[in-house]
Copies of this chain bind each other. A is one copy, B any other.
Amino acid sequence: MVIDNDKTLKIDPWGTIDIKDYSELFELFGIEPIDNVLEKITKPNRYLRRRIIFGHRELSKIIDAIEKNEEYAVMSGIKPTGALHLGSKMTAEEIIYFQSLSRKSKVFYAIADIEAYCDNGLPLDQTSEISVNNLADILALGLDPSRAYVYKQSEEIRVMNFALIFSRKVTKNTIEAIYGERPLGLYFSALVQAGDILLPQHADFDGPKPVLVPVGADQDPHIRLTRDIARKYSNEFKFILPSSIYHKLTRSLTGDFKMSKRDPMSLLTLEDSPEMAKKKVLNALTGGRETTTLQKKLGGEPEKCVAYELCLYHFCENDEKVKQIYQECIKGERICGDCKVEIAEIVANFLKVHQMKKSRLIETSRKLLDKK
């Protein structure tokens, strides 16, 4: 996301991301601040409480469905190219959370194996194994498989049919206004994503219903395109415009928004051994001052600190604990070395427990993916 001087905000789901100010999204694209609806949610999760989920479109449709005990869906997906990283963990936890709020919820989870083939050259038998692994992670995070429809892009013709149909009413002008001038292939992929987001409203899944799509702030173009399509086909398919929530983007351990798989030490994944994860955290960027003396005097800068972000976003459920770390840091009572040892321990413990749970869910995952 790049903010130009002329106040046109370019959000680019396929490009480099440089988030300067999430609040611009409110102004320019009509995303609403999450605060507007937060009081209506009885037990907000970590991401909501801490405003890591900072914005939404029509989340009230989902809240209403929960209140009225009506059906709704929560939709997300993954490109199966390797171990699950923290961004995918965040999305997974969001769908799991919204699945848990009602027995009338259903999760739809797309595994974009054709994209993985096109973008990363991974053949389907290889992505098939990666998918089993990724889904086992998501099950270990708490997904209820009895109310989930998990599918591979290479096997779900209804999504492709939607994409082909939608291509007839999406003009080049519309798609260029949303994505900029792009190769055809990316336009086609965008239409397939719209098909994914609207699949929960397919007649085979009992037709129109509210659908929530949790995304990173950079993914809003897909939501806008899909809402535009849902509007254009509202007579034909009776689509309800999908709702969305927006979370802040996770930085790499070096503090960049651009993740690079070429530098594995800069990325934490759910498949890292607890020992490896510790090492990575100990190497992470902090918000520390140049010297210990200076840090004790001025305090640290937790906003800049990736180790603190790991707590705040990902691994520390206890709000009081996070506040304590923050306070101690800014008061200069916390020195980065010690702090990172503590946080590395939290991360390593999480992974230890998670990986144990996951090992028992590999077969469940395989069955869920093989059932078609």
Name A's B-contacting residues (CB within 8 A): 114, 117-118, 154-157, 160-161, 163-165, 167-172, 175, 183-185, 187-189, 191-192
Contact = CB atoms under 8 A, between A and B. Distances in A.
A183 B171 CA distance: 7
Contacts of A154: 157, 161
A184 B167 contact: yes
Chain A interface secondary structure, helix, strand, loop or mixed?
helix
B183 A172 contact: yes
B170 A184 contact: yes
Contacts of A117: 165
Contact of A175 (B168, B175, B184, B192): B184
Given A114-B164, A163-B188, 4 more contacts: A164-B188, A164-B192, A167-B189, A170-B185
A294 B117 CA distance: 70
A122 to B, nearest CB: 12
B157 A185 contact: no
A117 B161 CA distance: 10
B155 A167 contact: no
A279 B163 CA distance: 44
A164 B168 contact: no
B184 A172 contact: yes
A161 to B, nearest CB: 6
A80 to B, nearest CB: 15
A170 B117 CA distance: 16
A118 B185 contact: no
B160 A188 contact: no
Contact of A185 (B114, B160, B168): B168
Contacts of A169: 185
A185 B161 contact: no
Contact of A160 (B118, B157, B168, B171): B157
A164 to B, nearest CB: 5
Contacts of A161: 114, 154, 160
A154 B203 CA distance: 14
B157 A164 contact: no
B188 A188 contact: yes
Enumerate the 8 nearest inter-chain pairs by beta-carbon distance, A residue then B residue, closest first.
A160-B160, A168-B185, A167-B188, A167-B185, A157-B157, A118-B168, A114-B164, A167-B184
A118 B164 contact: yes
A168 B167 CA distance: 16
A291 B260 CA distance: 84
